[in-house]
Structure 1
Amino acid sequence: MSNRQMQTDVILIGAGIMSATLGSLLKELVPDWKITVFEKLSKAGEESSNEWNNAGTGHAALCELNYTSEKKDGSIDISKAIKINEQFQVSMQFWAHLVNSKLIRNPQDFIMPLPHMSMVQGEKNVAFLKKRFEAMSQNPLFQGMEFSDDPEKLKEWIPLVMEGRTSNEPIAATKIDTGTDVNFGALTRMLFDHLKAQNVEVNYEHSVEDIKRASDGSWELKVKNLKNGIVQRHKAKFVFIGGGGGSLHLLQKSGIPEGKRIGGFPVSGIFMVCKNPEIVAKHHAKVYGKAKVGAPPMSVPHLDTRYIDGKKSLLFGPFAGFSPKFLKTGSMFDLITSVKPNNVLTMLAAGAKEMALTKYLIQQVMLSKEQRMAELREFIPNAKSEDWDLVVAGQRVQVIKDTEAGGKGTLQFGTEVITSADGSIAALLGASPGASTAVSVMLEVIKKCFPQHMNEWEAKIKEMIPSYGVSLMDNPELLHEIHSYTAKALGLDKKVAVAR
């Protein structure tokens, strides 16, 4: 072990979209701060941020039915959808700023315009979708949303889905053309290229083995170079743990009280990928359905047009899988070693509560390819097995914690930021909508961890994100301006022209 201790202002653990975003924001706000990044893998964006490890949906709550719920009185609660849409608008503004400032280029390499649709079958679900449409279409954020239960109109919108459909069961869909497909892997790599050009030190194949509080209040990290085995010590005033599923173990090693009584449960995803170009060419949308009873929200079935490496693809899923690993490249002991004396009761309570989820996961793991094809045929009646392959997507660690509303051992399905009381360390846990809300989430980290700087930074933040601190829903004129600004900067107002 080297006795030399490296000193830096900020350490970012993990080279995914969250660290890339936080690093990019800080470099705009305080260019002279020294930032160091450690990533276990050989390049950026290889775990959860990788384009094959997530759905590639620009999550703006335009099509995801799990962001809207029916209340007891029959009305539709769209508050979560509003929050997520506003957060995605923040991400779009920051990306537009980076493009206009020539800090990143060729936005079409990471974001493409694509209609977002919700599709349901059955009388009860059609009634729900219509009520949801009525509630959302009155809100400026969801302007332009259309609803149809006319099979002829649906054949225009989703010809592949309607082709060969013989059931008389009612079917309906909503469609909005302002949706996007986002390649978060490509965006992550672009942001790290930008950070390296701004003199950020990015260390690949470096694993953070331990995190300890130093006597002066800063943080000391033990970092192993995986290429030569050399271990070095690095000190920083601020540490961000953005290691995806690996964040929980590192948070536990920090010993901060805010990290206690928190557990994690891993769920993996499996997608079906179409390998027949003729089928791929027939579909042009992200079409989200309704989750089955007992299924976690991240398992909402969807049929997605994707743009990966300039090529149009078609994916269906996700099917849930189970592995005790917290990362795709993790250890089979990740789950068991995350159980500590301070969270064991929380974990046991979750196990007792979530029997339906456990049963669902077992059923999903046991599915044959033909059983998966049967689920795909609910979307594409004429789907042929030989046209589709299985691809294992990323691992997601769902947060388990004690909450007032849910009690002990409540499974959380969103993104959680854990910060120490003094703001010197922060960790990001959880899953969807994750990457889509990265800018909003990282601004929250900055606000919590650097409150003493917020007054001096606010003008720059507003320059990068014109709607910062303002509700777009309550300011339709500003919303329209921002839509026009981001669409132009990101090329979303141009026709899509990619290899098919």
Structure 2
Amino acid sequence: MSNQQTKTDVILIGAGIMSATLGSMLKELVPDWTITVFERRAGAGEESSNEWNNAGTGHSSLCELNYTVEGPDGSIDISKAVKVNEEYQFSKQFWSYLVNSKRIQNPRDFIVAVPHMSFVQGETDVAFLKKRYEALSENPLFQGMEFSDDPEQLMKWIPLMMKERRIEQPIAATRIESGTDVNFGALTRMLFDHLESNQTDIRFKHQVEDITRARDGSWDLKVQNLDKGTTSHHSAKFVFIGGGGGSLHLLQKSGIPEGKGIGGFPVSGLFMVCQKPDIVAKHHAKVYGKAAVGAPPMSVPHLDTRVIDQKESLFFGPFAGFSPKFLKFGSMFDLITSVKPGNLTTMLAAGAKNLQLTKYLIGQVMLSKEQRIEALREFVPDAKSEDWDLVVAGQRVQIIKDTAAGKGTLQFGTEVISSADGSIAALLGASPGASTAVSVMLEVIIKCFPQQIKAWESKIKEMIPSYGATLLDNPKLIQDIHTLTDRSLGLTNEAGEYETQKHAFTS
């Protein structure tokens, strides 16, 4: 054990997409700042960011029905859909900047064009989908969306889903070609490779054990080398806690008032995965349905084309599960040790208010493989059990806190918690998560470095051209951004057509 303390400007805890994004942005804004990264795993992007631990959807509200809510009067509120879409445009712009400036190579190794679709059954849901389509179609962010309730058209769009389907009720779908499949694991590794080549100190198999405030306002970290069993001490002016489900414990250890009273509830995920080429070739889209009554938003069923290591497969799910772990490679004591005197009543209130969710999770855990295959057959009527394997995905920790809606409210979004002086920030929550990493990390920068923002503004606009502008007020800017980012990322050809892989569909 050494009492010697290493000083650095910025410490990033966790080597996932959030830390990779924040580190990359800060390196562009202030190249001379020193950055140190601590990650408990052996490599970057091994937890929530890993390509097998998430659905890889570029969340931009093109297909996610839970981002558009139907009001009592029948109107469709698209405000959240617009917000998420605009945030994803930030990500695409920053990724384009990194590609164009040669910071990262080969964008097709992490992003490809895959149509996004919504699919519903039954008269009520078809009417909802049509109203949703009409509301979104008037918005320039959703240009190119199509609607159809014609089974013959749907057979052309989703032959695997339509084959042997008994149509006993109305069905409909929307489709838009500008959707994307993103390998966030590959992107995370690319970003850390670039950071490491630019004198960023990245330490894998290092676990942060404690965080304390120093007298000068900086932060002291006690870090264990998991390979050697030794302990070292590090200090920084600014600390970002981006450890996924592990962030809550570290936020609690920091002792900042803003972190008090916050709890977390872990939800695990599982996918059914098919890698048989003859089946995979019959489906090329991310198709989202509607969540079951009582299901949490992250459990919206969807059948996705995934491209991992340039090989296509199909994912169906997610099926929710429960584990007291806050990380896939975490501890069985994560949940119980997160309960503190400051959040005990909040956690108890959440338990009392979410009995339906608890019942739903218990039901999900008890499902057999054949029962999961039956759920899959709602999407793929002729699905066979032997063609699909069960894959355990990542853990997501949903925020629990007291809000205007009441004590112990379960939150399903992504939230930044930062100290009043901006010297430390933590990211909590889940979906839409990785897709909006650039927008969320820009929020961290604005909240934590307010005195530098004016000086950094021109560089931020170079990285994110729409920064400071409202896209809805400028349809031409939307079109310009789509053209710039889609071509830079290899999503379209010179004619502006989306470069989706061609398949010989068979019915």
Which one-letter code corresponds to 1:227 in the other structure? D
**TM-score for the superposition, normalised by structure 2:** 0.98
Shift of 1:167: 3.0
Residue 443 of structure 1 is matched in structure 2 by 442
RMSD: 1.0
Residue 84 of structure 2 corresponds to 84
Aligned residue in 1 for 2:250: 250
- Please tell me whether the aligned partners of residues 349 and 408 of structure 2 are also in contact (alpha carbons under 8 angstroms): yes
* Structure 1 segment 296-311 matched on structure 2, within 5 A: 296-311=296-311
d(CA) in 2 for partners of 1:341, 1:78: 39
Match in the other structure for 2:488: 489
Aligned to 2:471, what secondary structure does the other structure show? coil
1:158 aligns with 2:197: no
2:496 paired residue number: none
How does 1:35-434 map onto structure 2 within 5 Å? 35-404=35-404, 406-434=405-433
Determine the C-alpha separation between the residues in 1 that align with 2:500 and 2:348: 50
Per-residue deviation, residues 137-182 of structure 1 (Å, max 9, x unmatched): 0000001100000000000100000000013111000000000000
Cα contact 2:281–2:503 (8 A) shared by 1: no
Secondary structure of the 1:117 match is strand
- Which secondary structure does the structure 2 equivalent of 1:451 belong to? coil
The separation in 1 between residues aligned to 2:77 and 2:253, in whole angstroms, is 39
Report the CA distance between 1:497 and its aligned residue: 5.2
| Mapped partners of 2:26, 2:300: distance in 1 | 35
Give, in angstroms, the shift of residue 391 of structure 1.
0.1
Whole-angstrom distance in 2 between the partners of 1:340 and 1:499 = 54
1:290 is paired with a residue of what secondary structure?
coil
Work out the CA distance in 2 between the residues paired with 1:160 and 1:81.
28
Deviation digits for residues 286-315 of structure 1, max 9, x if unmatched?
000000000000000000000001101101
Q: TM-score, normalised by structure 1?
A: 0.99
Runs of 4+ in 1 over 4 A off after TM superposition: 496-500
2:315 and 2:203 mapped to 1: Cα distance? 33
- Separation of aligned partners in 1, 2:440 and 2:134: 29
> Equivalents in 1 of 2:257, 2:333: separation in Å?
24
- CA deviation digits over 1:364-404, x for unaligned, max 9? 00000111011000000010111000000000000000001
Deviation of 1:421 (Å): 0.3
User: Is the partner of 1:473 in helix, strand or coil?
Assistant: helix
Post-superposition offset of 1:276: 1.9
Counterparts of 1:252 and 1:95, CA distance in 2: 33
Structure 1: stretches of 5+ with no match in the other structure: none
SS where residue 3 of structure 1 aligns?
coil
The amino acid that maps onto 1:467 is S
Structure-2 separation of matches of 1:498 and 1:173 = 21
Q: CA–CA distance in 2 between the matches of 1:497 and 1:466?
A: 29
Aligned-pair distance for 1:275? Answer: 3.1
Q: State the Cα distance separating 1:40 from its structure 2 match.
A: 0.2
Preserved contact between residue 59 and residue 433 of structure 1 (Cα < 8 Å): yes
For these two proteins, the number of residue pairs brought into alignment is: 499
- Measured in 2, the distance between the counterparts of 1:333 and 1:286 equals 36
Percent identity of equivalent pairs = 76
For residues 254 and 289 of structure 1, what CA distance do their matches in structure 2 show? Answer: 41
Question: What 5-or-longer segments of structure 2 have no aligned partner?
Answer: 494-498
Amino acid at match of 2:185: G
